[in-house]
Amino acid sequence: MKKSEILKELEKKFDYLPRREVERTLEKILQFFSSNLAKGARIEIRDFGTFSTKTRESRIGRNPSSGEKIEIKKKNFVHFIPGKKLRKEINVIKD
């Protein structure tokens, strides 16, 4: 689902709010998530999941087209662990 599709769904659900307000609220939420993850904070949304950052250490890799060795630098990435309710909802946990 794209951001524009999320906005359309939210506009339908909150039809009493102006479109611009829905868009601004979604932007604020995404900005909040991004800035806190960039600081290394952990974001936990009960019944949905947990967002955190992890570090992938530098390593030696290979260029797939030439086979030449290259150094891949250390970098951070976003890690998501789904909550129990979400896993049940998408059928990962079978009771």
What is the per-residue DSSP string for 26-66? HHHHHHHHHHHHHTT--EEETTTEEEEEEEE--EEEE-TTT
Residue for token digits 């030696």? 60
Say how far apart CA 95 and CA 85 lie, in whole Å. 12
- Domains of the chain by residue range: 1-41, 42-95
What number is the average pLDDT over the span 26-30?
Answer: 96
Give me the pLDDT at residue 46, please: 93
What number is the average pLDDT over the span 33-52?
Answer: 95
pLDDT band for position 94 (50/70/90)? low
Give me the pLDDT at residue 45, please: 95
Q: What is the pTM of this model?
A: 0.75
Give me the pLDDT at residue 92, please: 56
Give me the pLDDT at residue 56, please: 95
Q: Of the given ranges (1-5, 27-31, 87-91), which has the lowest mean pLDDT?
A: 87-91
Residue 22 CB: number of other CB atoms within 10 A? 20
> Which fold is adopted by the domain 42-95?
HU Protein; Chain A (4.10.520)
Phi, psi of 18 (to 5 degrees): -65, 150
